[in-house]
Amino acid sequence: MNGLTQAFSDAFALLTGFDQQVAGIVLLSLRVSGLAVLFGTLLGLPLGACLGVGRFPGRTALVVILNGCMGLPSVVVGVVVYLLLSRSGPLGELGLLYSPTAMVVAQSLLVVPLMAAIARQVVEDAWREYEEELTAMRFGWFDSVRVLLHDCRHSLLVAVLAGLGRAMSEVGAVMIVGGNIDRSTRTMTTAIALETSKGDLPLAIALGLVLLSVILLLNGFAHALRQWALRRYA
Amino acid sequence: MRADDVVPAPSLFPLRIHELRWQAGGRAVLDGLSMELGGEGITILLGPNGAGKSVLLRTLCGLLEADSGEIHWGGDGGRPEFGVAMVFQQPKMLRDSVLANVELALRPQRVPAAERRQRARAVLERVGLVHRADDGARGLSGGERQRLALARAWVTRPRLLLLDEPTASLDPSSVEAIERIVREIRTEGTRILMTTHNLGQATRLADDVVFMDAGRVCEHAPVQRFFARPASQAARLYIQGELPWRMAF
């Protein structure tokens, strides 16, 4: 019990002392996950919205595949990206393996389908509601997607949060393609896994607290935004 | 391109509908419907539930494709891209401001943003909602929401306005407000085709009445003659409230 108390005490000391190592790991994690979520927002949300509105042969199969990709095992994605970026792989010449860029690629592959699948469901429900109105106003397919993406913006925050949650809590893929290299590709999750296995609990606890705080803060902000939107737009 | 350029000249009329058929679930909802509309006034579509009134409006609006038959739109007979607007019984509003919901209707016509805003404000003024322009559209009452739906249609300056029971479930003062707006829209030269079950409203608004039953037009007559001397037995029974109710699909 004393050991645990001491570990927490040391963890708080690391946080309040603005430990350089902790700060570096946190910033890298935020950068990698933030970029993955940005790609998810720019690619996944429009892709999901297009699937939600569009009616074309093969759409059902695409929706099933997309929904299936929500549960992609991160280690499998890690291995695939590793094979692509390794020296003998098709993209090996880029020299991206064990770099933050490789981690962004891996996380994006996990986040984009997840955000697209949620966006597809949200936008499809809205399309059912607005289809007659928008068609009567002569909105084409592309303009309908734009209108619905804007109309569902507060609901789509859920997709962004889900993407962020997946990216920030992900450990398998970034461990494989990033290599968990100190001061280079070590993120909060990979550092926690490593430090715990080494028995260095204070650093693991400190990073865990930061990780939880970031997730809670962003969820709190999103919740407040949704509440404001509900009051503003009923 | 300005909106005024794309709204067609009065070439939608006469609107000729010939032998229109549309089936759902094996039942003929429109069963060889034929009628003709001139370019002015308010025509009220009357008829029991399931007569095909709403389906006819949706077909004219391009939301449904008839199984067979022809719709000939004045001029060259082709369906115009713009110039037809529709207001639904339960209009859907975007999660945005009242003003944004009206501006929305002008986007397909590629009207510049500044002109969209100016025209939307002007039409909100006319339907008595300009003081709520910045409020959320979904927070409006039923009557206000229906006025907003009319504003959204009116702002496009349609040549033909299709109204599907726009006053159903509204209180008398809201009904009066809607009827006043409908008359104003008509005064500006928009042809109106409207469904209602409110016979009093039909006498107040209509220039002529089309009575439908079982997917066909039974009678098309000036409003006073229709109510004074209905020519068909079905119309007589309907006016007296005795037409047997038919199962809608």
Domain hosting residue B12, numbered range: 3-94+143-239
Please say if the pLDDT value at position A202 is more than 70. yes
Q: Do A135 and B62 touch (CB under 8 A)?
A: yes
Place of tokens 């209180």: B171
The number of distinct structural domains making up chain B is 1
Chain A segment 117-146 residues within 8 A of B by beta carbon are 129-130, 132-133, 135-140, 143
User: What is the model's pLDDT at position B249?
Assistant: 38
Contact list, B138 vs chain A (CB under 8 Å): 233-234
Contact list, A139 vs chain B (CB under 8 Å): 107-108
Q: Which residue has the higher pLDDT, B9 or A158?
A: A158
Report the residue of chain A nearest B137, measured CA to CA: A233
Please say if the pLDDT value at position B248 is more than 70. no
DSSP H or E segment with residue B23: strand B15-24
CATH superfamily, domain at A28-233 = MetI-like (1.10.3720.10)
Let me know if residue B127 belongs to a domain.
no
Q: How confident is the model at residue B78 (pLDDT cuts 50, 70, 90)?
A: confident
Check if the beta carbon of residue B84 is closer than 8 Å to that of residue B160. yes
Let me know if residue B49 belongs to a domain.
yes
Give tens-digit pLDDT for B105-115.
999 999 999 99
Q: Do B94 and A130 touch (CB under 8 A)?
A: yes
Which residue in B110, B66, B57 sits closest to B85, CA to CA? B57
Report the residue of chain B nearest A141, measured CA to CA: B108
Let me know if residue B130 belongs to a domain.
no
Burial class (CB in 10 A: 0-12, 13-18, 19+), A187: buried
Tell me the average pLDDT of chain B. 92
Distances (CA, A) of A91 to A9, A94, A95, A203: 46, 6, 8, 35
Give tens-digit pLDDT for B29-54.
999 999 999 989 999 999 999 999 99
Please say if the pLDDT value at position A190 is more than 60. yes
CB-based contacts of A76: which residues, under 8 Å, 6+ apart? none
Indicate the domain borders of chain A: 28-233
Please say if the pLDDT value at position B3 is more than 70. no
Give dist(CA B220, CA B24) in Å, integer: 25
Please say if the pLDDT value at position A1 is more than 70. no
Angle between helices B142-154 and B113-126 (to 10 degrees): 130
CB-based contacts of B112: which residues, under 8 Å, 6+ apart? B2
Would you call B134 an interface residue with chain A, using a CB distance cutoff of 8 Å? no
User: What is the model's pLDDT at position A234?
Assistant: 64
A133 → closest Cβ in B88, B95, B156: B88
Distance (Å) from the C-alpha of residue B243 to the closest C-alpha of chain A? 31
Let me know if residue B66 belongs to a domain.
yes
Place of tokens 């339907």: B127
| CATH code of the domain in which B12 resides | 3.40.50.300
Let me know if residue B134 belongs to a domain.
no
E strand intervals along A66-124: none
Q: What is the percent of chain B where pLDDT is above 70?
A: 93
User: What is the model's pLDDT at position B160?
Assistant: 96
Give tens-digit pLDDT for A139-184.
999 999 999 999 999 999 999 999 999 999 999 999 999 999 999 9
Q: What is the percent of chain A where pLDDT is above 70?
A: 99
Q: What is the percent of chain B where pLDDT is above 90?
A: 86
Would you call B91 an interface residue with chain A, using a CB distance cutoff of 8 Å? yes
What radius of gyration do chain A's Cα atoms show?
21
